[in-house]
Structure 1
């Protein structure tokens, strides 16, 4: 279809007359001024409000008020800009656009409020102490990331539903559609659902928590995160391993963090030239050393002359530390090692080392044969 140039000219001329008319330019300038005022004064207005609110909450304990104010700070600034946009377009556009502008304004306010609550949940998810204070009790760390993700998902879903309802969409039909779609999704994603339900089982049964040192047949390390589908484990070489929850539920898990004590056991090997009375005195002193140490469980101490080895007398040493923290465990082990060395030096007992002795049955005959040759 061809358009005649002479047909466009009148339409373009009419548009230019309207665009440069006094009423149009006046409304445009007023709208720009309105928007500029709200943009320029958004920081001043927001800071004034939050300064007043912080004065009211300075005497309160905990971080609840700070989290609340921080979460709503940026959304409030954006809400001021949104209000400026609404008033600017309302002044500029004809009254027939009021319905759309009102819906856009209400949807924007809902989104900004949901964003503030979303941030607030994130702040609490990073502070276990504040959650315990909020709930007036202690909560397991394993529950925090799982439920924080669930609450955030609910916030997003509710925001979508409320906005859709405000614009006149049938939410009931949408929810029913989700039910049919969920059935099809369940059939197509059995493994995903298995991992989700396995994650719920892990949270309820609590075989481990975030920060625990665990070991399975395939992986060993510290648990850093638990979500709907998988568990993230930081190995000791700092590699991050993601394990599906279904695999963990069906695996044998050793939780080293749950043990109350940590074992240390080794054999001391001393030379065969050690007199029996010195060996007995050394064993008694090592046992007293272990029993006197504040970080060793005195009920587990065993120090015994165990056996006659191939090249040394073997003393069996067995005890448990009261701490399971890696650094404290190593410090305790080091203290005991230095203490044993000091006892051995004071008692004149020498440590043995692997050696081989060669015996010649007729050394004289061999010497004579070598001289004859």
Structure 2
């Protein structure tokens, strides 16, 4: 059709004896390229106008389709216009390079179609995970995994179709892939291990983007920023990026503190031996305080008991869980709990114990005072309780 139109136009110009063949070819090619640019500009503005109009509707998918098709449609107009211009140039010049016009057009169509589908997948992914556009947005990790898999399928299919268009046999390519896949598998086993590790992460979902994860087996801890097919990117708490091969997650234990339901307060608080008579009352008051505390989850395990006779204290075990899982808020609640426990202990006239030692002096021993005189230190059998700071001096005097 293009050849017939060009021949008719060329014959009409020759009949009037206008211009040389080179000028005629240049004018026609310029007219085609200029017309292509005009049509592409108009098409772009029409789609832009439709996008703005449909943005006010309740349907989100029409916006996504229009946005995905806008640039590929403009590229399609340019592809068709340049093809016609190349056909005109081929009609006049008969150059060998223009014999590939049909093949380039076919590959261009495939590329534009793939580009459109990939953009549509990307727009769909944005909609499904957006809390502003969806009442119940889907999990980002799951949507991202399905999106990556869909893009891979589209690209592989397009490559096979393009190879068929170029004259290659797909059956031969698949057979070669089956034999060569074994060699490639041995050469790239680490790459494949990371690929399947990423697939397992997307399938089992032990964590997702935004989760805080750590491993007791490796020095791995941070917030998940991206889950790729080869690497998972974490941001450590000192703000450094940490890149972990996906294969590592198939062989190590991974904790996900982001999914905890509560945070635990586990403390051992000691009081003096002199306050043993107040122990039962103190324990009871601490338990009552925790049971009535608005930030303590009373549905979880709550233990407040006299635990043990320690070397210099009577130990009380406090074991409970907070309602919040936020790190900063948890420490605020823990501080409040510990201060209230301290107030309860002081309210009963008791004190929190600190490490002390008792030094026993034999009867009749005297210690020199500051004037050099010796003074009776203990006239009856018994023991004197001395601070640790005085222990060395008095022990030396005893010798």
Q: TM-score range by the shorter chain?
A: 0.7 to 0.9
Structure 1: give runs of 5+ residues left out of the alignment: 1-20
Partner of 1:144: 143
192-201 or 317-326, which deviates more: 192-201
C-alpha distance in 2 between matches for 1:56 and 1:141: 26
Higher RCO (CA 8 Å, separation ≥ 6 residues): 1
The superposition leaves residues 195-241 of structure 1 with CA deviations (integer Å, 9 ceiling, x where unpaired) of: 43344444444444442523231123334443433444433333333
Calculate the aligned-residue CA RMSD, in Å: 3.7
Deviation, 1:265, is 0.4
Q: 1:221 to 1:282 in 2, by over 3 A?
A: same
Partner of 2:391: none
312-321 or 323-332, which deviates more: 323-332
Partner of 2:186: 187
Partner of 2:195: 196
Partner of 1:301: 302
64-73 or 341-350, which deviates more: 341-350
Partner of 1:67: 64
Q: Where in structure 2 are the equivalents of 1:161-172 lying within 5 Å?
A: 161-172=160-171
SS at match of 1:254: coil
TM-score normalised by structure 1 residue count = 0.76
C-alpha distance in 2 between matches for 1:352 and 1:43: 83
Larger Rg: 2
C-alpha distance in 2 between matches for 1:320 and 1:74: 55
Alignment of 1:113 with 2:113, yes or no, is: yes
Partner of 2:393: none
Q: Please, which of 32, 42, 47 is the counterpart of residue 40 of structure 2?
A: 42
Contact 2:276-2:314 within 8 A present in 1 as well: no
Partner of 1:93: 90
TM-score normalised by structure 2 residue count = 0.71
Structure 2: give runs of 5+ residues left out of the alignment: 1-18, 375-399
Deviation, 1:360, is 6.7
The superposition leaves residues 320-356 of structure 1 with CA deviations (integer Å, 9 ceiling, x where unpaired) of: 2234343443343244234434545655554344456
The superposition leaves residues 98-154 of structure 1 with CA deviations (integer Å, 9 ceiling, x where unpaired) of: 7633432332232123123223333444565369x99x9986554334333332222
C-alpha distance in 2 between matches for 1:40 and 1:352: 88
C-alpha distance in 2 between matches for 1:363 and 1:39: 112
Partner of 2:268: 267
Deviation, 1:358, is 6.5
SS at match of 1:94: helix
Contact 2:262-2:321 within 8 A present in 1 as well: yes
The superposition leaves residues 138-189 of structure 1 with CA deviations (integer Å, 9 ceiling, x where unpaired) of: 8655433433333222222222222222333322222222222212212323
C-alpha distance in 1 between matches for 2:159 and 2:257: 44
